[in-house]
Amino acid sequence: MRVLQFTFKILTIVGCWRPESWSSLCMRIVYDAYTVFMIILLYTFLVSQFLDIIWNVESAEDFTENFYATLASVVSCSKMLSLLVNRNNINTLTNILVEKPYRPLEVDEMKIRYKFDRLIHTNTLCYTILVETTCACITMTSLLTEFRKGNLTYRAWLPYDYDSSTIVFCLTYAHQLISLTAGSLVNVACDSLICGLLVQICCQIEILECRLSKLSNEHNNLRDCVRHHDSILKYALRLNKKFRMTIAMQFIVSTMVVCSNLYQMTKSSTVNANYISLLLYMSCMLTQIFIYCWYGNEVKLKSTQLMDNIFGINWLTLNRDLKESLLIIMNRAILPIEFTSAYVLSMNLDSFVGLLKTSYSVYNLLKQV
């Protein structure tokens, strides 16, 4: 059974993962066409916002009004590209979790896997609800305000006059809202995938601890544990390598979006519908980076706690060779598994606090300028 089933359903919706049942040539062509449609949808939205910054923006207010939305589109497009480029790697990273030595073999290990699978499902569901609630709020606010005035939801430069007819305006307006929803689902899919795999690393470390606690004087058991530990380290390294640029992009953009949003919120003297939308949007951006930092920190803590948990094993019943082998595992566990964004910034809670401080500093600078 494939892990991260709910996440893969979202990946299918956004055009990044063809269902396994769609194996015929006709169905593959249909889904590939759908993927191309989603790519065009996201990238045309991004280009229209970017060209507006170049050709239409004339003041700081215009720039900040466009900038935070354009950054969100940049992240969505980059994540879409990352998911499509890494489809084979994603398939490998998820499939090996149901094979040896990762596959749970006993009842205790199955309970551990089930516990973490439920955690991943709950996190993904809550995150999806938060993001889509924000999109619904933005949509309703826009329909009640901008649409009635004949304005688009977001600033954009377009190669045609969208005010020329009602049909053209409605199609352009719908394009922006559909792109917004599609981009939000791409973010949910990518973030849930990476954080879900981080949780799976924590799961594997706990399964390894369970196996070590049942260690006997059989060298085969210890050999399997050593191989399992080595596999976990290689798995974490591969995951970090494939998605380090995506994580780095999220860190950079989150910093700029938070300070831009703060500026937008302080422009409004009263709490209105637009203010609530910005507040929800800010919550989504902070949640995005927080879950990366939180589960990156959890992996680090789990990997360092492995050494302490080995001390809890009944060493007196083990022979000399097994004790020496356990010491080797402990020495390796001294170096924690640490995820980084582009090998520069570590994914932990300290980094999250640092991001908030940096965002506020940039906001103060922007406000003074």
Helices 166-213 and 5-13: angle between axes, nearest 10 degrees: 160
Which tokens hold the place of 18? 């063809």
CB 276 within 8 A of CB 91: no
Hunting for tokens 């980059």 — which residue is that? 78
Digits of tens for pLDDT over the chain (369 positions)?
578 999 999 999 999 999 888 889 999 999 999 999 999 999 999 999 999 888 887 777 777 777 878 888 998 999 999 999 999 999 999 999 988 889 998 899 999 999 999 999 999 999 999 999 999 999 999 898 888 888 888 988 988 888 888 899 999 999 999 999 999 999 999 999 999 999 999 999 999 988 888 776 555 677 888 888 889 999 999 998 888 888 888 888 877 777 777 777 776 655 566 778 888 888 888 898 899 999 999 999 998 888 888 877 777 777 777 777 778 788 888 888 888 876 667 888 888 888 888 877 877 776 676
Which stretches of 214-348 are DSSP H helices? 219-267, 273-311, 320-333
CB 354 within 8 A of CB 290: no
Q: CA 163 to CA 184: how far, in whole Å?
A: 27
Q: What secondary structure letter does DSSP report for 98? A: G
340 membership: H or E segment, kind and range: strand 340-341
